[in-house]
Structure 1
Amino acid sequence: MSSLNTNTNIKSEIDIRKKANYKTEGSDNIRTKKQKKYVLIDGHVYDFLKRSFDIIFAIMFLMIASPVMLVVAFLIKLEDGGPIVHARICIGKNNREYKMYKFRSMIPNADQMFQLFTPEQMERYKVGAKFDDDPRLTRVGKFIRRISIDELPQLFSVVRNDMSVIGPRPVIEREAAAYGENRNKLLSVKPGITGWWQVNGRSDCAYLSDEAKNLQLYYVDHRSMGLDIKILLKTFKVVFYGKGAR
């Protein structure tokens, strides 16, 4: 009888321990799922807030800047009679192509006018550098570039969800390929009108240099609403002082 009671007690203790372990493991699983869910929700919240900000900012800024944009369009047309905007095929989020528009700041067919470059200018062009003495720039173009007005049509790309107000600099296929194994990382987010590279290097740092690439990828790794706000505030300062604008 004593032996039977002992076996019964041992069995009961084992059952209790199994139940305790099950509850502990179950609680851990629940916590893990909650943590994963929290991270997922946090990412969705950031994306929602960012997209909401993009739409509101782009529409409001277009309304405010529309008189300026009309004047710029008139001056560009008046100077040489060429197109008002310049469109280029860029590579956006998830390697999707889209058309990015800017006010034209160069002579028509500027992409075919490399013969105007000096050898030194050609070398700077190859590494993605911009320069004040670019012979292809128009008089109006020099002015609108200096204060970044040429970027304003990109707000339409933001409304269409091709771009964000803040993100990595838009790239064409040749520039995207230069990122090598980091290409997909760069293109995992929408490109922006302004970004970490623009406020830290901009035209003072050639956009195909290692420094520029590191600045672009830094944003991808650390993007958050806090960093976006910081970039936006620095953008106004950079534009106001004209630092690096070309």
Structure 2
Amino acid sequence: MYRRFGKRGFDLLAAALLIAALAPAMAAVALAVRLALGRPVLFRQVRAGRHGAPFILLKFRTMREGAGDDAARMTRLGRGLRAIAIDEWPQLVNVLRGEMSLVGPRPLPLDYLPRFSARQASRVSVLPGLAGLAQAAGRNAVPWEARLELDARYAEAPPRLSRDLRLLLRCAVLAATGRGAAAPGHATMPTFEKNRA
């Protein structure tokens, strides 16, 4: 029942309630980003959704525009927003649109799809999510091979409300502490170059 109707219903209700509750904070963050980085306030990027279908992912901007690596373009405000995952809040709109779920594998760039093994590619059999099994295991500090394996495990298991609630709680705790916001030695996460499995 949760697979067919409950998960989407839970996503819609929870996302709508969270947007309403967070609206004042989101407005304050948008103003801070506007003052620190100018326009646009939101970062938009094409990502792979369910079955690889492209969609526009929304995030608060955390980097300056222009050339240079992520570390060079990352602002102090951006590091703070990323540490506690506030930059991800606009993806609640993606959830309302049905492009994402609250819980599922994180959406990755389209050009990653050909690099996956068959098992790793199973991660796109479900909607991508704000939180997930890999994020609960340590966010961006989890190496790519382990991260993609955890995504595959989530995708192959029958959806359960109790599991999704546990994952949301674990991810919220991690975000509140700022742990795992970046891979060791990186501003965010290194590029997934190719499948090594």
TM-score interval, smaller chain: 0.7 to 0.9
Superposed CA offset, 1:136-182 (max 9, x none): 11121111111110000000000000000000010111222221323
Q: Which residue does the alignment assign to 1:97?
A: 54
Match among 233, 236, 240 for residue 176 of structure 2: 240
Q: Is the 8 A contact 2:52 2:113 kept in 1?
A: no
SS of match in other structure, 2:44:
strand
Q: Is the 8 A contact 1:89 1:97 kept in 2?
A: yes
Q: Which residue does the alignment assign to 2:146?
A: 211
Give, in angstroms, the shift of residue 183 of structure 1: 5.3
Q: From the CA coordinates, give the structure whose radius of gyration is larger.
A: 1
For the pair 1:197 / 2:134, whether they are aligned, the reply is: yes
Equivalent positions of 1:1-246 (< 5 A) are: 42=1, 45-109=2-66, 112-114=67-69, 134-182=71-119, 184-206=121-143, 209-222=144-157, 223-246=159-182
Q: Which residue does the alignment assign to 1:129?
A: none
Runs of 4+ in 1 over 6 A off after TM superposition: none
The one-letter amino acid of 1:216's match is D
Give, in angstroms, the shift of residue 225 of structure 1: 2.0
SS of match in other structure, 2:107:
coil
Using structure 2 for the length normalisation, give the TM-score. 0.86
How many angstroms apart in 2 are the aligned matches of 1:237 and 1:139?
22
Q: Which residue does the alignment assign to 1:34?
A: none
CA 183–214 in structure 1, closer or farther in 2 if over 3 Å, else same: closer
How many angstroms apart in 1 are the aligned matches of 2:79 and 2:94?
23
How many angstroms apart in 1 are the aligned matches of 2:124 and 2:17?
27
How many angstroms apart in 2 are the aligned matches of 1:94 and 1:148?
26
Q: Is the 8 A contact 2:138 2:179 kept in 1?
A: no
The one-letter amino acid of 1:162's match is E
How many angstroms apart in 2 are the aligned matches of 1:195 and 1:183?
15
Between the aligned residues of both structures, percent identity stands at 30
Q: Which protein has the bigger helix share?
A: 1
The one-letter amino acid of 1:217's match is A
Unaligned runs of 5+ in 1: 1-41, 118-133
The one-letter amino acid of 1:92's match is G
Using structure 1 for the length normalisation, give the TM-score. 0.69
Give, in angstroms, the shift of residue 237 of structure 1: 1.4
Give, in angstroms, the shift of residue 212 of structure 1: 1.0
Aligned length: 181
